[in-house]
Every structure is written in C-alpha cells, then in structure tokens.
Amino acid sequence: MLKALLFVLVMPAIAVTAIQANAQTESSAALAKVTIPTGVLAGGKPLARGTYEIRFSTTQPPAASDAQRRVEFLAGGSVVAQELAEVLRDDDLPSTGDSARPSAQGVRVEMLKGGEFLRISIKRGAERLLIHLAVPPSS
C-alpha cells in the first residue's frame, strides 16, 4: 500500500520535471546555422554580416501569439541579437493554390525584392519560421 501511495505521489512530479526539461531543451536547441551576407537590423539593433546560430528564446514578448516566437542570434555561444519570427504551420495552409504546398525542409536566406529586407526561412517538421530583418540604407 505504501509503495502504491509513493508511486502516485512521485510520478506526477517526475512527469512535470520531464516536461520542463523537454521545454528547456527545445528552447535552447539550435534551429539553424545561417550566414547573413550583409549588415541588418535585428530587434532594432545592428547585426553585422557573418555566421550565426539561431535558437528559440526562453522569453517571449507579452503580446506574442502562438503565431510568433522570439528567436536569438548567437555568435561564439553568446546571444548578440533577438527578433520575432512568424510561425507558419502546414496544418494552417489553404487547401488550394500555390500557397497550399508545404515548403521544403531546410534553411533559406534571401534578399527580398527591393533590397530592404533579408528573409530567413527555417522549415523543420510541420513548422516554418520566417524572420524578416531590415537592411539599413547605405550611407
């Protein structure tokens, strides 16, 4: 009887700990490694061209919905910038048209038409993250 009671009391605590550890691992795991070809603005601050690791931030902005996640840019293991990413899920795609096809897995970094924004697209599983970084005008 005592063993059964201990099992009932201890198992929920183990499950909660496992869920918390899993959430921490997900948020601190690298999503992608990208090379940014030009200086951009991330979170309103300059981010130099170079190679960065991108991961989910452990903090989310108060107004963020489940369609947005804060991501961090890391260089040398240190966070150097943060930005909001738009989250698109394959389940939410329209049933017809060009937008109905899920994007390919992987990472794309591309300058958008007009050269005012750099878009980073990260597709993992059924989610696609879009990060738009402003390109400051040349002086």
Q: What is the pLDDT of residues 60-101, one digit of tens each?
A: 777 667 789 999 999 999 999 999 999 988 887 766 666 666
Which comes out higher in pLDDT, residue 30 or 117?
Answer: 117
HEC per residue, 50-74: EEEEEEECCCCCCCCCCCEEEEEEE
- Is 70 exceeded by the pLDDT of residue 47? yes
Residue boundaries of the structural domains of the chain? 25-90+101-134
Which comes out higher in pLDDT, residue 33 or 103?
Answer: 33
**Residue closest to 73 by CA, chosen among 99, 51, 58, 103:** 51
What is the mean predicted confidence (pLDDT) over 23-29? 51
